[in-house]
Chains A and B, each alone.
Chain A
Amino acid sequence: EPEVTQTPSHQVTQMGQEVILRCVPISNHLYFYWYRQILGQKVEFLVSFYNNEISEKSEIFDDQFSVERPDGSNFTLKIRSTKLEDSAMYFCASIRLASNTEAFFGQGTRLTVV
């Protein structure tokens, strides 16, 4: 079965450092998402991406965050200057659109900012 893959599975970074979280969506999918989940809390929407541009973003997705689909396969989330409160699980998801709107989620990247 096709799957969304995320790397790394776990990343530890120093406060103030830049991190890039990587996602490889399913190959024929067209619409992409990033979510985050602070430990023990709900899954929060960050951003959606379609046709090489941001479709929607939440108030969490401030200037410290950016997304990119650099090569037609990877979908990345960059945090420019990490804060302690960025520590969370980050999930990528993709959907095909058209007749199939089922979202496929990656296994997540656990980011720990120290």
Chain B
Amino acid sequence: AQRVTQPEKLLSVFKGAPVELKCNYSYSGSPELFWYVQYSRQRLQLLLRHISRESIKGFTADLNKGETSFHLKKPFAQEEDSAMYYCALASGTYKYIFGTGTRLKVLA
């Protein structure tokens, strides 16, 4: 079955500390993975696509097919990073499966 798991509902870190938001997926084929961010009461915005191998707002994510993971990382958290983060899997179609999301709180 195709599934995206974000094990943490809430992650609190202090400003300047490293951040890692976990995402694991279940898919037998070749996945396309994304991270979306939703700031308070705003629309979801695309943050990263694994295929682009880019860094946006200091965030990076590496696809690890062996561990079926796509964790989102940032070396030094900032208060403006506080938001809801969703991992999404495109399973060979244009239909995305989203994880349940992780709320990141960056404390001053």
| A and B: bona fide binding partners | no
Chain B residues within 8 Å of A, Cβ to Cβ: none
Chain A residues within 8 Å of B, Cβ to Cβ: none
